Amino acid sequence: MPRRTDLKSVLVIGSGPIVIGQAAEFDYSGTQACRVLKSEGLRVALVNSNPATIMTDPEIADATYVEPITPDTVEKVIAKERPDALLPTLGGQTALNTAVALHESGVLERYGVELIGAKVDAIQAGENRERFKKIVADIGAESARSVICHSMDDCLAAAGTLGYPMVVRPSFTMGGAGSGMAYDEADLRRIAGAGLAASPTSEVLLEESILGWKEFELELMRDRADNVVVVCSIENLDPMGVHTGDSITVAPAMTLTDREYQRMRDVAIDVIRAVGVDTGGCNIQFAIDPATGRMIVIEMNPRVSRSSALASKATGFPIAKIAAKLAVGYTLDEIRNDITQETPASFEPSLDYVVVKAPRFAFEKFPAADKTLTTHMKSVGEAMAIGRSFPEALQKALRSLEKAGSSFSWAPGPEALSGDERAARKAELIESARRPHDGRLRAVQQAMRLGATVEELYEATRIDPWFLDQIAALDEVAAPLAEDQLDPEALREAKRHGFSDEQIAEIRGTSAEVVRELRQALGIRPVYLTVDTCAAEFEARTPYLYSTYDEETEVPVGDKPKVIILGSGPNRIGQGIEFDYSCVHASFTLAEAGYETVMVNCNPETVSTDYDTSGRLYFEPLTLEDVLEVVHAEQETGEVAGVIVQLGGQTPLGLAQKLKDAGVPIVGTSPESIHLAEERGAFGQVLARADLPAPKHGTATSYEEAAAIAAEIGYPVLVRPSYVLGGRGMEIVYDDETLRDYIERAGGGQWNPEHPVLVDRFLDEAIEIDVDALYDGEELYLGGVMEHIEEAGIHSGDSACALPPITLGREDIDRIRTSTEALAREIGVRGLMNVQYALSAGVLYVLEANPRASRTVPFVSKATAVPLAKAAARVMMGESIARLRAEGVLPATGDGGHLPLDAPISVKEAVLPFDRFRTPEGVGVDTILGPEMRSTGEVMGIDTVFGTAYAKSQISVYGALPTKGRAFVSVANRDKRAMIFPVKRLADLGFEILATEGTAEVLRRNGVRAKIVRKHSAGPGPDGEPTIVRRILDGEVDVIVNTPFGSPGQSGPRLDGYEIRTAAVLRGVPCLTTVQALSAAVQGIEATAAGVIGVRSLQEHAQHLWGGEEDS
């Protein structure tokens, strides 16, 4: 059956901002889908509020709407675009929910839009637990025994029949939000209470505990001729009880016989048929009782998912791409397998390697959060690794996480322990492994070193004995490495088992360099094998490679000069999809410029690790050892023109100097120049030469030194460790006592001249400005100037910002340009640079300069309709800005600092994951913003004026800004003056104003009729008058203005604010924590109330901006 000819245009919905549970994998799938549909000659319209995505690049779709993904907005896009069909299965739960809403409100029918990919009935059959359970029963399979509840009374009654412990799952939430395990009635009341509130249908499911069972997933595809294939099986190393997104997972399944696997496959196929997913993919999860083999169907997702992205990368079978083709009418046998180019897509990949995915957590950003892993996803990213055996893949995956303490360790030590100490330590580790948490597998491995048996650890963890034995085997491989004379065979065996030079060096008490030299001298080097979908049965045409210590290498020989681009590794807070964006652009543009592009990355969620993106893909950890070996392999087969380290964030940047020292040609800004910008002392000299002011600062290695600096420059001061990204460990301190506490606590208290603490004067009430610029050695191209909406002190990644800057004048911008150019020249930038400034009392201070692609590059590119990352890649390879202007890559004249007067205003807003975390006591974590970055993603609002653009950004984050109702205001004394006008405006717009006593007093004196509401700390009134927290929880408040005051950890106002903000997160009420955000929100509320918010595509904006000369 060929492609349907009745479809001419398709609307694709993306997944919006990166949040926990819905991340970059949907950019990967959405980008694939849009490209497929476009290549089929269809007009593609796209809605996605996330500017950091490749899919929202103007060349990917025909009409790209960076607009809120709400039914209202999407309806406006439909009215404007009049698409024939809507494809909702590639944008995660967000897209699916939006599509269902548009169906239910009759919009799709009204505009004659057909839902393709999954019918509404199939979506509901898959997602409605009662219906799904019935389907499972009808096909003769089993579900966990369960009860659907709509109230707490239902829940308590169900507990009587199911017994504790039981799982609580709210319906229709993404990433399992609100799920948990209830061990007793108190747990049940707490978790089910929150779940009933979180579920859009006020529905929770209580279910028998299958904790500790084996967990599996299958990825399936079905076409309209009813052909079904199972693309991949995935086994979770962590048994049931840990969300699959937080589990270490393995593909293919390792511990099933064919009978068991085929039974699972049969059930999965029956499920996809019964649910009615007829053109596309789905994911089905299973649990198996390890004692009896009883198999339970857990759930299915009738759409592309995180697991399907993983399965695509794990097998080389591009699920999203094929789902898009199926949606427009092709059948599986009509689609070629890209990798072999001779066999069809109607087959099931066979793997001759093992894939391991490991989650990356960000608990360090949320110190108060409970680190126990549950059915509620908490990881912010993941790394995938491929090896020829499970141990090799596992060790590669763990080091790909780039996190201290993730890899297994055989550091000397345990030998010295006495028998009793060993036993005690072993018992402690086993106990620690009993509770699933971030470091569980490492605890397992350490316990084994101390003699814990597979049986003991199985009893504690329920991790399958096969996996445990594989880890035990590593211990045996490690043992001979400690001997005085290193046996080459032992070394070879260790490399075969995935040991890094670093791990071996640790065992031998030497450096990784020494191990590397010895290893290479012995000729022990990895080979690169191909991910070919077919276990070598057919020749692979697409070079998608991984390293392993095996027989023969498969790196193809080429004649074009090669550029190696180092990616950014697993997503984490502070280093996310934005960096992948720049890497992908570099790859696209350098391929056009005639280079063979070679991508190195280990993040399975991304577009960069799509085998289609670059000439060659190496799925490898981004460590020095692994990168050096890739470079070596590429040099063996052709000329390496350069390695790009500037685009993938801190990960590749951190390798720059060492790569250069090893003789690797680094292109773009040199490692020495990078050092100039990153090392405080050197940067001070750069500033002095450029004659630019910086906030007063100093470098300290002890409390005494830090206190002396603080005394000189005056409190408050900003303190942080050097060389960090995302503001790790950065704090504002107001007095000596807090300073002492910081010095002792942060960085483990280990400060030295190599790793000092930086002490900066904190500029109160300054405007913070972010700049992205390009420099070729001659000319500066100012990409964009962003004005932060929050004042300085909030991490730039967490701060909303506007472009063009809303309150800066031409003169300010000219000063910024001059300063940026001076910095670029003095540092020696070739390519991109990001500078942060603070404008305070007319002085433009330089806060920091980063000679690399920044988080804001995609935002700036979209806001100004200029492909900055592409231009940067060309500049790094030696092209001039003048040439790029002539080619039309950059505008012929002007730059991002000189936008036309009526240029659209773009607002970037951060999305924060506070709703994901609870303290071990089960209460929410504080939501206050600070110098440490904690957002997982961002959205963009773009419109002709600031108010509307800001409103769009807020709608994208919160769903909507209220246009009426109750506003609660409680601000710090320093903010009281600034809040009067905007709050008065809110009152004028018809909001009822609630305020705490002090705030209400000021408001009333200024003519705002504010009602006093009881503080949380005051408790309920004598007649039961509720506190503000109670009223928020009861849904009586529509917007909250609460600026924090008081010091952390104290009681009183600070604690009140904490309770208020936590309640706001629980109820999903917009909560403004700065006065600047309040002013912006008021403009947004006005715009929303006026009902003038329309939609406009990026292509139309570009046409308007650059008069159609720019098409990208």
Partner 1 sequence: MNRATKPALLVLEDGRTFHGTAYGAEGEAFGEIVFNTGMTGYQETLTDPSYHRQIVTMTAPHIGNTGVNDEDPESGRVQVAGYVVREPSRVVSNWRARRSLDDELRDYGVVGIAINGTRALTRHLRDKGAMRAGVSTTETDPQALLERVLDSPDMIGADLARVVSTPEPYVVRPEGEVRHRVAAIDLGIKAMTPRRMAERGCEVHVLPATVTAEEILALEPDGVFYSNGPGDPAACGYAVESMRGVLDGGTPVFGICLGNQMLGRALGLGTYKLRFGHRGVNQPVQDRANGRVHITSHNHGFAVEAPLDGPFDTPFGRAEVSHVDLNDGVVEGLRLLDRPAFSVQYHPEAAPGPHDATGLFDRFCDLMDRS
Taking residue 412's Cβ as centre, other Cβ atoms within 10 Å add up to 11
Tell me if 850 is assigned to a ligand binding site: yes
- If one asks whether residue 529 binds partner 1 (CB under 8 A), the answer comes out as yes
The verdict on 388 binding partner 1 (CB under 8 A) reads: yes
Instruction: Report how many residues bind partner 1 under the rule CB under 8 A.
Output: 59
Between CA 95 and CA 866 the distance in angstroms is 28
The b/e string for 173-191 (b: 16+ C-beta within 10 A; e otherwise) is: bbbbbbbbbbeeeebbebb
Task: Choose, by CB under 8 A, the member of 2, 163, 291, 1049 that binds partner 1.
Answer: 291
Residue whose C-alpha is closest to residue 257's, from 233, 241, 278: 233
Q: How far apart, in whole angstroms, are the C-alpha atoms of residue 921 and residue 93?
A: 29
Question: Does residue 301 have a known ligand-binding role?
Answer: yes
Task: Report, in Å, the least distance between residue 449 CB and partner 1.
Answer: 18
Could you tell me which stretch among 348-356, 362-370, 818-826, 1055-1063 binds partner 1 (CB under 8 A)? 348-356
Place of tokens 């997982």: 936
Q: Where are the beta strands (DSSP E) in 361-496?
A: 381-387
Under the binding rule (CB under 8 A), the answer on residue 226 touching partner 1 is yes
SS3 of the chain: helix, strand, coil, percent, to 5: 40, 20, 40
- Binding of partner 1 at residue 466 (CB under 8 A)? yes
Nearer to partner 1, 9 or 227 (CB): 227
Is residue 535 at the binding interface for partner 1, with CB under 8 A as the rule?
yes
Count of residues making up the chain: 1112
Interface segment toward partner 1; rule CB under 8 A; list 222-230, 670-678, 919-927, 1082-1090? 222-230
DSSP sequence for 930-976: -SS----EEEEEEESSHHHHHHHHHHHHHS---SSSEEEEE--GGGH
Instruction: Reduce the DSSP state of residue 575 to 3 states and report it.
Output: strand
**Residues between 546 and 585 with contacts to partner 1, criterion CB under 8 A:** 549-552
Is 446 annotated as contributing to ligand binding?
A: no
2 forms part of the interface with partner 1 (CB under 8 A): no
Instruction: Determine if residue 768 is labeled as part of a ligand binding site.
Output: yes
Which residues in 349-378 contact partner 1 (CB under 8 A)?
A: 349-354
Confirm or deny that 123 is annotated as ligand binding: no
Q: Does the footprint of partner 1 cover residue 390 (CB under 8 A)?
A: yes
Backbone angles phi, psi at 966, to 5 degrees: -115, 135
Q: Is the dihedral of CA 567, 616, 631, 877 positive or negative?
A: negative
The least distance separating partner 1 from the CB of residue 373, rounded to whole angstroms, comes to: 23
When asked if residue 453 is in the footprint of partner 1 (CB under 8 A), the reply is: no
Interaction of residue 139 with partner 1, rule CB under 8 A: no
Do the annotations mark residue 208 as ligand-binding?
A: yes
Is residue 799 part of an annotated ligand binding site? no
Contact characters 252-271, partner 1, x per CB under 8 A: xxxxxxxx-xx--xx-----
Going from the C-alpha of 1019 to that of each of 436, 476, 671, 1024, 1052, the distances in angstroms are 37, 61, 58, 9, 12
Largest Cα span, the chain: 84
Select from 305, 327, 297, 222 the least CA-distant residue to 7.
327
Q: Is 241 annotated as a binding residue?
A: yes
Q: Does 464 bind partner 1 (CB under 8 A)?
A: yes
Six-digit token string for 518 = 């010895």
The nearest distance, CB 463 to partner 1, in angstroms, is 11
Closer to partner 1 at the Cβ: 294 or 1011? 294
In the complex, minimum distance from the CB of residue 360 to partner 1, in angstroms, rounded to a whole number: 26
Q: Look at the alpha carbons of 1025, 1029, 1032, 1037 in this order and tell me if their dihedral is positive or negative.
A: positive
- Give the shortest CB-551-to-partner 1 separation in angstroms: 3
Q: Is 404 in the site for partner 1 (CB under 8 A)?
A: no
Strand order of the β-sheet with 616-619 is: 527-530, 544-548, 616-619, 596-601, 562-566, 640-644, 666-667
1083 annotated as a binding-site residue: no
Q: Is 522 in the site for partner 1 (CB under 8 A)?
A: no
Binding segment toward partner 1, per CB under 8 A, in 387-395, 848-856, 1021-1029, 1063-1071: 387-395
Decide: is 810 part of the binding site for partner 1 (CB under 8 A).
Answer: no
Burial of 715 (0-12, 13-18, 19+ CB in 10 A): middle
50 is in an annotated binding site: no
Please give, one letter per residue, the 3-state secondary structure of 1002-1018: HHHHCCCCEEECECCCC
Q: Quick one: which H or E segment has residue 837?
A: strand 831-840
Q: Flag whether 477 is marked binding.
A: no
Question: Whole-angstrom Cα distance, residue 700 to residue 780?
Answer: 35
- Candidates 210, 339, 401, 534; binder of partner 1 (CB under 8 A) is 534
Cα–Cα distance list, 476 to 136, 301, 445, 471 (Å): 45, 41, 12, 9
Residue 451 in the binding site for partner 1 (CB under 8 A): no
Span 231-250, contacts to partner 1 by CB under 8 A = 233
Stretch that binds partner 1, among 127-135, 330-338, 929-937, 982-990 (CB under 8 A): 330-338
Q: Does 757 bind partner 1 (CB under 8 A)?
A: no
Q: Is 817 annotated as a binding residue?
A: no
| Whole-Å CA distances, 489 to 120, 492, 553, 583 | 59, 5, 20, 39
CB closer to partner 1 out of 254 and 518: 254
Closest CA to 733 of 930, 496, 921: 930
| Contact criterion met (CB below 8 Å) for 797 and 855 | yes
Q: Which of 174, 211, 225, 662 binds partner 1 (CB under 8 A)?
A: 225
**Of 2, 153, 292, 663, the one binding partner 1 by CB under 8 A:** 292
Tell which one of 389, 738, 819, 1043 touches partner 1 (CB under 8 A). Answer: 389
- Chain positions 472 to 501 lying near partner 1, rule: CB under 8 A, are 473, 476, 496
Nearer to partner 1 among residue 420 and residue 552 (C-beta)? 552
DSSP character at residue 84: S
**1002 Cβ partners below 8 Å, 6+ apart?**
976, 980
Regarding 454 and contact with partner 1 (CB under 8 A), the answer is yes
Q: Is residue 397 a contact point for partner 1 (CB under 8 A)?
A: no
Instruction: Write out the binding residues for Mn(2+).
Output: 285, 299, 301, 836, 848, 850
Where on the chain is the footprint of partner 1 (CB under 8 A)? Answer: 225-227, 229-230, 233, 252-259, 261-262, 265-266, 290-293, 331-333, 342-344, 346-354, 388-390, 454, 464-466, 469, 473, 476, 496, 529, 534-539, 549-552
Instruction: Write out the binding residues for ATP.
Output: 129, 169, 175-176, 208, 210, 215, 241-243, 285, 299, 720, 761, 763, 768, 793-796, 836, 848
Instruction: Write out the binding residues.
Output: 129, 169, 175-176, 208, 210, 215, 241-243, 285, 299, 301, 720, 761, 763, 768, 793-796, 836, 848, 850
